[in-house]
A and B are shown apart, each in its own frame.
Chain A
């Protein structure tokens, strides 16, 4: 029969279960706390790297932009107070475009008559084409550079400046941003506007620059202009016709507009949000370039870093669960091993409870509480055995005593019964004697009176006590036989004969003689005469 699960087995299982339960409650909690801490650390690290990357991108972009500014600024200064021949203008343009690969074209345009007193408008334009340059006259009747907004804006600004990105249709045929600066001549001691130097800054270089920053798998760079036009964006479908504001509106992503506004305010910072355009949670660092009013955003998907954390988390949970399981198994095994003696003692107590005092109790294996308990069980069992033996002995003795008592009681009863029977017989015999109206005297073999009936007392006046044990001759004698009465009666008793109606004299208490007839019967016990009965009747 299968042995039922003992209390101690259940205890060990429950203990292990509690550990598992606590473990499974604690593990996710600890894991979650740890995950959050690790996530925080990882994200902080990522933010730090992104901030560093942002600075790097901005610095590189600034270098490129500054080189374009430097070229244009140098040209503007170089053109001041310097009379030029047409050929020299083309040479300057050539040098400028060829020396700076970020420039797609360059133009020098003069104010009326500033190039030569005889030439009202003079403007030259050089554009990079393949491996060489193409020159163009911008004072031609079609273009008329002095009527172009950029020309007027540059003059109006009075210094070096950047235009918004635009697609230079018919010029560079590429997305460019124009950097332009006015240049001056000194006329009569006055500094007089002489023209405008402008260069097309090729935005493809900026896009390439943005793409080179692959610091994270999910990392990206957004570069936008002063008006928020997208110069570089991870999604190539977005271009200069899109702005941070239009994207913010289109994708309901106000963070983009906010970043643009903060950059306009020359502020840098960071923020995390779910990007609808990139379809994931992103963290973005933004920073103004301080040149051209552009802004740079360096972003990355947080999930890229959290994925590893998540993997680590599950590995940690699995490891902790495995450890807990192993721990629970060890606890269960150790508890069971430790408590097995208690289970055995429980079995022993059951056996003792059923009265089996010959059950085997293993000797203590260790001198601990369980060991002492085992020892106590052994002592208890031995004491119980002794008690049982004593009890059996007492029971046997009690049974013997009961038997003896019953026997004694029976004997006592039997004796009492015999006594009462004798008493009854005596009383009955006395009753018979006492009921006889004649004087009856019971005699011993020696003719002494052993009993008299009331008639004797009545006739003689003697008390019975005064006559018992006295010789019969004191009370009565045969007539004429003074002093020898005993002989005929004694002889009759000796022979076992009856004596009938023998004349005799009886004396009463007063000494008066009364004539009576005496009859004597011998008393026989079996064949032996043991006494006699004398009956006296008045004569």
Chain B
């Protein structure tokens, strides 16, 4: 069965575009807009990867990530955000929280490479 990727983003254009791209690459996707939907989706089926925005409508992304990690500890989480962080923030905070961090300006092919790497590492 194709790996399932859960996309959590409150911007429909972004999550739909990501889903369309990842579907074309052979993944199954599940898109949700907030933390409640994200937890429900994870409860239904543990995804191979979670792509989560930092700024959600109903909650801070990092808090949502912490909750999701408790639910599916083995699932890598890719933080995808438009907020620019200082390098030391990334180094000291985000690297301990998420498996990878990417800006939303990152080209799709690079995002795909990161997705493939994370899913392969999880499978291994």
Do residues B17 and A416 form an inter-chain contact, with CB atoms below 8 A? yes
- Max chain A Cβ within 10 angstroms of own Cβ: one of B13, B83, B109: B13
State the interface size on chain A (CB cutoff 8 A). 14
Tell whether A420 is near chain B: CB-to-CB under 8 Å: yes
In the assembly, what is the distance between CA of A416 and CA of B20, in Å? 11
Tell whether B124 is near chain A: CB-to-CB under 8 Å: no
Tell whether B108 is near chain A: CB-to-CB under 8 Å: yes
Size category, B interface: 10 to 19
Of the residues B11, B21, B82, B83, contact of A417 by C-beta under 8 Å = B21
Q: Which residues of B contact A418 (CB under 8 A)?
A: 105, 107
Do residues B24 and A417 form an inter-chain contact, with CB atoms below 8 A? no
In the assembly, what is the distance between CA of A421 and CA of B107, in Å? 9
Interface residues in B52-104 by Cβ distance below 8 A to A read 82-83, 103-104
Do residues A425 and B17 form an inter-chain contact, with CB atoms below 8 A? no
In the assembly, what is the distance between CA of A413 and CA of B24, in Å? 10
Tell whether B14 is near chain A: CB-to-CB under 8 Å: yes
Q: Which residues of A contact B82 (CB under 8 A)?
A: 421, 424-425, 428
In the assembly, what is the distance between CA of A416 and CA of B14, in Å? 9
Tell whether A410 is near chain B: CB-to-CB under 8 Å: yes
For the complex formed, measure the closest distance between the CB of B109 and the CB atoms of chain A, giving whole angstroms.
7
Question: B13-46 vs A: 1/0 string, CB under 8 Å?
Answer: 1100100110010000000000000000000000
Tell whether A406 is near chain B: CB-to-CB under 8 Å: yes
Known: A424-B82, A425-B82, A428-B82. A417 touches B107 (CB 8 A): yes
Do residues A414 and B14 form an inter-chain contact, with CB atoms below 8 A? no
The residue in chain A whose Cβ has the minimal distance to the Cβ of B25 is A410
Q: Which residues of B contact A421 (CB under 8 A)?
A: 82, 103-105
Q: Which residues of A contact B83 (CB under 8 A)?
A: 428
In the assembly, what is the distance between CA of A425 and CA of B20, in Å? 22
Do residues B17 and A413 form an inter-chain contact, with CB atoms below 8 A? yes
Known: A424-B82, A425-B82. A413 touches B104 (CB 8 A): no
The residue in chain A whose Cβ has the minimal distance to the Cβ of B112 is A410
For the complex formed, measure the closest distance between the CB of B67 and the CB atoms of chain A, giving whole angstroms.
25
Tell whether A387 is near chain B: CB-to-CB under 8 Å: no
Q: Which residues of A contact B14 (CB under 8 A)?
A: 420, 424
Q: Which residues of B contact A406 (CB under 8 A)?
A: 24
Of the residues A414, A416, A428, contact of B109 by C-beta under 8 Å = A414
**Interface, chain A (partner B; CB < 8 A):** 406, 409-410, 413-414, 416-418, 420-422, 424-425, 428
Q: What are 25 contact pairs spanning A and B, CB under 8 A? A: A410-B21, A410-B24, A410-B108, A410-B109, A413-B17, A413-B21, A413-B108, A414-B107, A414-B108, A417-B17, A417-B21, A417-B108, A418-B105, A418-B107, A420-B13, A420-B14, A420-B104, A421-B104, A421-B105, A424-B14, A424-B82, A424-B104, A424-B105, A425-B82, A428-B83
**Interface, chain B (partner A; CB < 8 A):** 11, 13-14, 17, 20-21, 24, 82-83, 103-105, 107-109
Closest 6 CB pairs of A and B: A421-B105, A424-B82, A413-B21, A417-B108, A414-B108, A421-B104
